[in-house]
Chains A and B, each alone.
Chain A
Amino acid sequence: MGYLQGFAVTFSKLFKNSATGAVVTTEYPEEKRVKTERLHGRHVLNRYEDGMEKCIGCELCAGVCPAKCIYVRGADNDPMNPTSPGERFGFVYEINYLRCIHCDLCVEACPTEAITESKMFEFSFLNRQDAIYTKAELVVGDDGKPQQLPWEDWREGEDVDTSAWMRATSSSGNAAYSGQVGWSGELGYGVRNAEGGQPAEAKANAIRIAAAAAAADAGKPGAHDADGHGHGGHH
């Protein structure tokens, strides 16, 4: 009679307030899911705190791009009125979003943390030319946040955390670099602090620290309860 049980399961799901019947759909245009912290969306070109562009036109991003969607041309800076600190700057910078696969290899390759990815992924083109984003669209605004293009649908907080901070916890595989600031400051934010890895990890760290603090309190004379395990370091 296992078949009939199956019918009972599907029937009970008809009722929204039953144990397993709650609707799981997100009604997309009206509401959006919370995006993960490192979502690979459309790119931004970052600037230093003094407003200079970070891009030096080295074309490493274009070289590493597996989809061949980036086109860069460097040019010498005007010594009187430089665009970036150093000799060269990205004179032309174009990304074709009909080709881009958002693999983030350009971000890994960039020596100056100039290119990072934002969380905006809703593209809408009416022709192929519009799919090619140029410096006019990619460079961050004067507040250091990505420019909101007229066709982009942003929600609260989606334009933050788009820049070099994205790589803040990447320690090149070497644990010794964990927690070290290894990146430059940027427009609107300054030099960001290192964070404790992924959100789950950061949360675990916070719990660990709180537990250690509580244990330190408990460890004060008169309140010590002789449990020597799990708190670490305060004896």
Chain B
Amino acid sequence: MGADPMLAGNIDIWVVLIVLLKVFVTFAFLMVAVMFMVWFERKVISDMQNRIGPNRAGPWGLLQTLADGIKLFFKEDLIPDKADRRVFQLAPYLSLVPAFLTFAVIPIGGDFAKKSGVVKMFTHHTFLQLADPPIGVLFILSMSGIAVYGIMLAGWSSGSKYPLLGSVRASAQMVSYEAALGLSVLTVVLVSGTLSTHGIVLGQSSIRNWNIVQTGFIPFVVFLIAGTAEANRPPFDLVEAEQELVGGFNTEYSSIRFALFFLSEFMNTVTLSAIIVTLFLGGPQEIFHIPGPGWLLGMFWFFLKLFVFLFTMVWFRGTLPRLRYDQLMDFGWKALIPLSLAWLLIMSAVRLARNEGWNVPGVIAICLVIAALFYGLLVAAMNKSKSNSELIEVK
């Protein structure tokens, strides 16, 4: 599996045990992170709305998520008569498993200051990440692609109209925003020259080398917005717009199956933040140097950065009202995709110009002119189509 030095040599019992330990720790971490995230979101949202939030279960309401989970577990599990039973039962797992798997390729720590991310674990040198496949970024994208199926099939198999509407919205939204997401990730890959998540982190050794700077900030903003939409977080939570769709795709779900959707949703939030940190902000790379054991510092920086983005996600939710469906589509197709596409082309042109020794400002100017030209064409086409539809209305 990729460049992990532990798996390069011969595989003995220790290696197997260490991998098992990593699996367990990753799983446990993700569960605890989700528990914390649900509580954190409710608390911060409450603070932003002059409320108190959960404060009954445990100190500061910390065990609220656990209490909710236990409650959901003991509730009656209903399957509607009209539901497609097999698919209905499968859907929550289709949404949960990708959420879990994505996190496997995130480097959550490692001694990046001195030893390029390698730490000594018992007897072996290894990375602090479950797996480092050479196609790590593609793996992330493919998992987010599969997650669409969970939501889509959940709504479709419920045999009920609101869930169906919710899932139709979900699939349209997730497919549209995946394009912008992919294009902004492509910029990162272009700069890093590798698809491995470990390699991407390795390339961002100081703030100047962070991809947020190297890719020129725009892909970061596009990724943040498109990622929020991809995870169905507010303000892009049309999928489960309570006021319009009862509960959206999960309306007919109850008990533990509902809990699985809920879990995967928050897991996606945590994973999304982790992906942003990995791709754009150097993952476990230090911001400034502090003395201490390398493996611990890597984790410290990673979690610090992760926390900032978790807060940002909640902040989005507390501040922005939900988009209307046509606004969502307009924003995705007419703003984010052209922007990220143009940015990718400019980045590649600049890179080529540097390699070939061309005049870089000149290339940028030409690119901008071409981009403006194409955007003008796009606007003209949209205006034409608008006037056409108005003509039809008059008739």
| Cross-interface CB contact of A10 among B51, B52, B315, cutoff 8 Å | B315
Chain A interface size band reads 10 to 19
- Chain B residues with Cβ below 8 Å from A27 are 52
CB nearest neighbor in A for B312: A7
Contact: A24 with B319, CB < 8 Å? Answer: no
B315-352: CB near A (< 8 Å → 1, else 0) gives 10011100000000000000000000000000000000
Contact: A7 with B315, CB < 8 Å? Answer: yes
Chain B interface size band reads 10 to 19
Check: B242 CB closer than 8 A to any chain A CB. no
B53 CB to nearest A CB, Å: 9
CB nearest neighbor in A for B53: A25
Check: A101 CB closer than 8 A to any chain B CB. no
A4 CB to nearest B CB, Å: 9
A10, B44: Cα distance in complex, Å: 10
Check: A203 CB closer than 8 A to any chain B CB. no
- Chain A residues with Cβ below 8 Å from B51 are 23-25
A99, B131: Cα distance in complex, Å: 62
Q: In terms of DSSP, what is the predominant structure of the interface of chain A?
A: loop
Interface residues of B in 4-54 (CB under 8 A from A): 44, 47-52
Q: In terms of DSSP, what is the predominant structure of the interface of chain B?
A: helix
Check: A13 CB closer than 8 A to any chain B CB. yes
Contact: A13 with B48, CB < 8 Å? Answer: yes
Knowing A6-B320, A14-B44 are in contact, say whether A23-B50 is a contact too (CB < 8 A). Answer: yes
A6, B320: Cα distance in complex, Å: 8
A21, B52: Cα distance in complex, Å: 11
Contact: A13 with B44, CB < 8 Å? Answer: no
Contact: A10 with B50, CB < 8 Å? Answer: no
- Chain B residues with Cβ below 8 Å from A209 are none
Contact: A7 with B319, CB < 8 Å? Answer: yes
A16, B319: Cα distance in complex, Å: 18
B85-97: CB near A (< 8 Å → 1, else 0) gives 0000000000000
Check: A11 CB closer than 8 A to any chain B CB. yes
- Chain A residues with Cβ below 8 Å from B318 are 10
| Cross-interface CB contact of A22 among B48, B50, B319, cutoff 8 Å | B50
Given contacts A13-B49, A23-B50, 5 further A-B contacts (CB under 8 A): A11-B315, A13-B47, A21-B50, A23-B52, A24-B50
Q: What are 10 of the A-B contact pairs (CB < 8 Å)? A: A6-B320, A7-B319, A9-B319, A13-B47, A13-B50, A21-B50, A23-B50, A23-B52, A25-B52, A27-B52
- Using a CB–CB cutoff of 8 Å, the interface residues on chain A facing chain B are 3, 6-7, 9-11, 13-14, 16, 20-25, 27
Question: Nearest 8 A-B pairs (CB), nearest first?
Answer: A10-B48, A10-B318, A10-B319, A25-B52, A6-B319, A24-B50, A13-B48, A14-B47
